[in-house]
């Protein structure tokens, strides 16, 4: 078994991993870096050399896992591509949106490589995706055969509890097994239910470490955190504030909408139908959550967010003069407030106004605008856009823990239950990966813990 980390650094960026099992060559995920542009936004496929892939398997449809898939498919036209059905639906919407974003970036900054692919190519790519059910073993055929020659390689998707369609991927070959977690959550969220992952003996575990360096806050519960958010909203409304919640379009948007739905029903102070705003991409993703609600293992299966929460929809133009008025909640992407996105444009409008609030609810890269903003805090100064002068933060800032990723404790617990021969740590900023390595090495002395250097082949 061989493995190559195809990210350019040890980080959460353009996630992509090469794996050779049995006679099969495959790549797990094909992400786009949220922060960089052009070549730097792509995984480091040069490290693949002249290897021809049999398959590309996608864990879920966040940009950092699927964003460059049409480019990889162009370079590896013979590779078959697998993912779950919800991931095909969401992925297609996301890639078309990405073409629009990249086209704009080309016009504004002259990024000559952009768009990396066209709408037509995104459509053609999606036509070739094969959707797979959860908990069903599929055989991975080689370029020349079916794999029926005794060296069969199979893969199976497991529900990862992270966002709609998200999975961990179990591969079996030659009596060996490898499990790639993708992005996981072992706790229930407001909509998504906790992951159901294999509990059998696994030889190699490739595990994400997003929250690897943060202990779970003492006494934290999701229900308690939801209450805290409801109270913060009540307080903000009483102060005459409007509230911005920067979120990812996929996952966090729908989780926050579901919470707001509950607050309207459960809190007397929030019972009036206070106006909620989301962006166009988020509304398309929310439509997919609604359409698939009864087919999905989830909570609130009857809740139709677009109809019952009835958010107003903003675009690049209307966000510029959307009212900064009391009692309005803006649930806008991107989660990291990347320049030009709705949350970024809106944040610049309310940052210097002490009346209003920004609530952070999930992960943000510490160097992203949202990360800088959060860490500077009220009274600090931040340059949200490197091309524009920095601004003094006068608005109110609050932070909540609604991560869609497993806690550090749950990751360690899972690794201990599986006690694999080798553990490969991926999808984490360096402090998270390093602390996880030290902890796992101490807790699992019989397992080899590997932090794979980018671009270097590792024998598993
Ligand atoms: Zn994700
Ligand atoms: Zn991710």
Q: Residue 11 in contact with residue 212, Cβ under 8 Å?
A: no
pTM of the model: 0.95
Q: Do 69 and 96 form a contact (C-beta atoms < 8 A)? A: no
Strand pairing partners for 20?
2, 25
The alpha carbon of 183 and the centre of ligand 1 are apart by a number of angstroms equal to: 5
pLDDT digits (tens, 9 = 90+) for 219-261: 999 999 999 999 999 999 999 999 999 999 999 999 999 999 9
DSSP assignment of 135-166, as one string?
T--EE---SSS-S-SS--EEEEEEE-SSSTT-
Nearest CA-CA partner of 113 in 37, 45, 16: 37
In 350-451, the DSSP E strands lie at 357-360, 381-382, 391-392, 396-399, 422-426, 448-450
Q: Minimum-distance ligand to the CA of 208?
A: 2
Residue 32's H or E segment, with its range, is none
Residue 407 DSSP symbol: -
Residue ranges with strand state E in 254-324: 276-279, 312-314
Whole-number pLDDT of residue 150: 57
Q: Which residues contact 158 (CB under 8 A, 6 or more apart)?
A: 134, 135, 167, 168, 169, 170, 195, 196, 197, 198
The CA-CA-CA angle for residues 48, 53, 55, to 5°, reads 130
pLDDT band at 437 (very low <50, low <70, confident <90, very high): very high
End-to-end alpha carbon distance in the chain: 5
Q: Could you read off the pLDDT of 45-80 as tens digits, one per residue?
A: 999 999 999 999 999 999 999 999 999 999 999 999
Half-sphere exposure of 35 (CA within 13 A, CB side): 17
Residue 247 CA, ligand 2 centroid: distance in Å: 14
Are 233 and 245 in contact by the 8 Å Cβ rule? The answer is no
Query: Which ligand neighbours the alpha carbon of 61 most closely?
Result: 1
CA–CA separation, 365 and 361 (whole Å): 13
What's the CA-to-centroid distance between 13 and ligand 2, angstroms?
A: 8
DSSP assigned state of 39: G
Q: Which ligand is nearest to the CA of 210?
A: 2
pLDDT in tens, 300-355: 999 999 999 999 999 999 999 999 999 999 999 999 999 889 999 999 999 999 99
Number of other CB atoms surrounding residue 257 within 10 Å:
27
What is the 321 CA–ligand 1 centroid distance (Å)? 31
Predicted confidence band at 363 (pLDDT cuts at 50, 70, 90)?
confident
β-pair type (138-139, 153-159): antiparallel
Residue with tokens 């896992």: 65
Find the 12 Cα to ligand 2 centroid distance in Å: 7
Q: What pLDDT shows up at residue 145?
A: 55
In sequence order, the 6+-apart residues with CB closer than 8 A to the CB of 255 are 189, 190, 191, 192, 402, 404
Q: Of the bound ligands, which one is closest to the alpha carbon of residue 185?
A: 1
Cα(364) to centroid of ligand 1, in Å? 12
Distance, in Å, from the CA atom of 316 to the CA atom of 343, rounded to the nearest integer, reads 10
**Higher-confidence residue: 301 or 366?**
301
* Residue 141 scores a pLDDT above 90: no
3-state DSSP percent of the chain in helix, strand and coil, to 5: 30, 20, 45
Neighbours of ion ligand 2 (CB under 5 A): 64, 183
Chain centroid to CA 187: how far?
Answer: 16
Give residue 453's pLDDT band: very low, low, confident or very high (50, 70, 90).
very high
């Amino acid at each position: 078994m061989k493995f190559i980390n195809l990210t350019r650094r040890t980080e959460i960026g353009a996630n992509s991993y090469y794996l050779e099992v049995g006679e099969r060559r495959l790549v797990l995920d094909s992400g786009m870096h949220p922060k960089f542009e052009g070549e730097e936004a792509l995984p480091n496929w040069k490290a693949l050399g002249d290897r021809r892939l049999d398959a590309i398997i996608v864990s879920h449809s966040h940009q950092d896992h699927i964003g460059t898939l049409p480019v990889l498919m162009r370079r590896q036209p013979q590779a078959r591509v697998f993912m779950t059905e919800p991931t095909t639906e969401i992925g297609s919407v996301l890639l078309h949106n990405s073409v629009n974003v990249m086209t704009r970036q080309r016009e504004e900054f002259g990024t000559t490589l952009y768009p990396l692919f066209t709408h037509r190519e995104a459509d053609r790519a999606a036509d070739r995706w094969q959707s797979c059910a959860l908990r069903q073993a599929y055989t991975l055929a080689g370029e020349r055969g079916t794999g029926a020659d005794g060296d069969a390689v199979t893969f199976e998707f497991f529900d990862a509890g992270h966002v709609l369609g998200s999975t961990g991927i179990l591969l079996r070959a030659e009596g060996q097994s490898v499990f790639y977690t993708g992005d996981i959550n072992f706790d229930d969220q407001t909509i998504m239910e906790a992951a159901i992952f294999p509990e059998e003996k696994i030889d190699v575990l490739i595990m994400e470490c997003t929250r690897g360096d943060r202990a779970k806050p003492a006494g934290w519960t999701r229900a308690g955190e939801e209450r805290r958010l409801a109270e913060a909203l009540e307080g903000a409304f009483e102060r005459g504030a409007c509230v911005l919640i920067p979120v990812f379009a996929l996952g966090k948007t729908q989780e926050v909408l579901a919470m707001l739905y509950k607050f309207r029903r459960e809190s007397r102070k929030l019972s009036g139908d206070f106006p909620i705003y989301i962006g166009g991409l988020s509304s398309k993703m929310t439509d997919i959550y609604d359409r698939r609600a009864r087919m999905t293992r989830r909570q609130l299966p009857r809740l139709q967010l677009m109809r019952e929460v009835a958010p107003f929809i903003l675009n690049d133009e209307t966000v510029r003069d959307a009212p900064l008025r009391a009692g309005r909640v803006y649930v806008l992407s991107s989660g990291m407030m990347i320049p030009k996105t709705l949350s970024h444009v809106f944040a610049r409008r309310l940052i210097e106004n002490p009346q209003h609030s920004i609530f952070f609810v999930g992960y943000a890269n510490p160097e992203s605008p949202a990360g800088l903003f959060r860490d500077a805090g009220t009274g600090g100064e931040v340059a949200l856009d490197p091309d524009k002068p920095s601004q003094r933060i006068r608005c109110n800032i609050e932070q909540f823990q609604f991560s869609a990723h497993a806690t550090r404790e749950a990751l360690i617990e899972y690794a201990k239950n599986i006690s694999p021969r080798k553990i490969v740590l991926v999808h984490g900023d360096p402090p998270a990966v390093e602390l996880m390595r030290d902890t796992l090495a101490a807790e699992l002395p019989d397992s080899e813990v590997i932090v794979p250097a980018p671009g270097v082949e590792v024998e598993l």
